[in-house]
Amino acid sequence: VVPAVRSHEAPVRERGLVCLGLCALLDRSLAEENLGLFMHFFNKGHTALQITALHILTDILNVHGAQLLSSTPGLLKVYVKAVKGGGKAPEVQAAATVAASKLLLGRVVSEQDACEELLKALVVAYFDPSSATNQTVRQALNYFLPVFCYSRTANQDLMQAISLQALHSLLNLREG
């Protein structure tokens, strides 16, 4: 698997990344060791590779828990960056929106600050005019936001906590 990930041929490298991601689902220590690599592929890869890296990171977090999120502080930034970056790559924004929604609904992300940052990014993406034409994002958030808010009282409190910040962010977007 490792030689495939290091390959200079893109299709071989991409398949190697998927295989390494599947292996990381089976072994927590392998997942911890390679989180940085998956984040690197997200940051430096092309659109399809970024989407693959997001799927792998989300699967790892769902299987191995949020402890990986707290031990790797840059991991949350990957999701926030992807949700906010809709103008550059709408497909990546769509994949990140679905992934972040799953992490919040499944209570994989449970730390208050992390939840607030991720939820704020999703709310801003919902109301941001630049993502209005991204139907995948719209559909995912049309489902996620009501389900998230009505599923638990704590989620309503979280939405209340980020509402003003989200409005300020939207105002700043509008003013440029």
As a whole number of Å, the end-to-end CA separation of the chain is: 46
pLDDT at 5: 86
At a CB cut-off of 8 Å and minimum separation 6, what does 159 contact?
Answer: 119, 123, 148, 149
Q: At residue 86, does pLDDT exceed 80?
A: no
Give CA 44 to chain center in angstroms. Answer: 16
Q: At residue 132, does pLDDT exceed 90?
A: no
Residue of 10 and 52 predicted with greater confidence = 52
At a CB cut-off of 8 Å and minimum separation 6, what does 97 contact?
Answer: 83, 122, 125, 136, 137, 140, 141, 144
Q: At residue 87, does pLDDT exceed 90?
A: no
**Considering the chain, what is the average pLDDT of its residues?**
93
Place of tokens 């994949």: 95
Determine the Cα–Cα distance for residues 96 and 55; give it in Å rounded to an integer. 8
Q: Which of 64, 72, 77 is nearest to 27 (CA)?
A: 64
Place of tokens 């792998």: 56
DSSP structural state of residue 129: G
pLDDT in tens, 140-149: 999 999 999 9
Looking at residues 60-73, what average pLDDT do you find? 86
Looking at residues 83-102, what average pLDDT do you find? 92
Determine the Cα–Cα distance for residues 42 and 49; give it in Å rounded to an integer. 7
